[in-house]
Amino acid sequence: MSVFVTGANGFVGRAVCAELRLRGTTVIAAMREPLPSDADAVRMPDLSPESDWAPLLTDMGVACVIHLAARVHVMNDRVADPLAEFRRVNTASTLRLARQAAAAGVRRFVYVSSIKVNGEQTLLGHPFVARVDRAPSDPYGQSKFEAEKGLAAVARETGMEITVVRPPLVYGPGVRANFLSMMRWIKRGVPLPFGAIDNRRSLVALDNLVDLLIVCSEHPAAAGKTFLVSDCEDLSTTDLLRRIGLALGKPARLIPVPPAILTFGAALAGRADIARRLCGSLQVDVSETRSVLGWQPVVDIDAALRKTAAAFLSGERV
């Protein structure tokens, strides 16, 4: 039997497929544009409510689907109705895939959701737990929340096992977006006004997320559960930047500007969202993940940062 991975050429998807292969699992890597060298790859349908996944699922003995493909959070969305587009791609197409997977006899469906289902921020020392009582206001998070609810209904209707994983920020070799920007700032020796931020944020290293997803694809106790995931060590923005600097061999040049001034300045510049992420806390409670699955991170933060930094430095030299 095989594991069917959507979004297989993405940041997380590539790593999931590689680790599954290392463990001797047969992989069907669904991606938009397979290369001739991708021996176990298939062309993935467009993410829409009309997509036909059945031929890929029925003929290949799929035991488990790990669904990573999604329309991701967009900072400056140019779509006229972002919520409708997120719902079309992240909600309706996910439920279409799940129903066709159930019809094809797939045993388990692992859905990679987002911590944005819980929200954008926590009070210090009050982490998110898996239970969510209402939909988030963010369109991306709302589409993921609605997909989770729809998948629970699919499970009740069909008996297919559903497992949901909600990661926070994921980092590792090949990371992009804000994490990549931070590494570039530090490598270039740019002075950063983030030396006095006493928040706490949960992160998850790519290796840790990949390991948990594979555990969730196999573990009997994962059926019907929602799990949060992190490296099990929450960092302040200040500490994260310092430890990135150590990993890069280039100490971070941090100026201790009070967070209130940073927040005020960001609001004046119309970037209050950036200040919230830099100065606010976002913690997740992974105690249930650890107790139910017996799961522990396979790599600690500093080792993961060194691996991320080495890949970054290697790429920068190319």
140 tagged catalytic: yes
Q: What is the largest CA-CA distance in the chain?
A: 59
The SS3 of residue 31 is: strand
- Chain centre to alpha carbon of residue 191: 29
Pair of tokens at residue 268: 């004046």
Residue 156 CB burial class (10 angstroms; 0-12, 13-18, ≥19): exposed
Residues constituting the chain: 318
d(CA 53, CA 99): 10
Q: Which of 140, 179, 295, 312 is flagged as catalytic?
A: 140
Residue 186 Cα distances to 250, 305, 310, angstroms: 7, 13, 14
At position 165, the amino acid (one-letter code) is V
Residue 66 Cα distances to 24, 28, 182, angstroms: 16, 10, 30
- Please compute, for residue 28, the number of CA atoms within 13 A of its CA located in the half-sphere on the CB side: 21
Q: Backbone dihedral region of 232: left (phi > 0), alpha (psi from -120 to 50 degrees) or beta?
A: left
Helix pair angle (139-158, 93-103), 10° resolution: 20
Long-range pairs of 51-58 with CB within 8 A, sequence gap ≥ 24: 51/93, 51/96, 51/97, 52/100, 53/96, 53/97, 53/100, 53/101, 54/100, 54/103, 54/104, 56/4, 56/28, 56/30, 57/4, 57/100, 57/101, 57/104, 57/106, 58/104
| Residue positions annotated with a catalytic role | 140
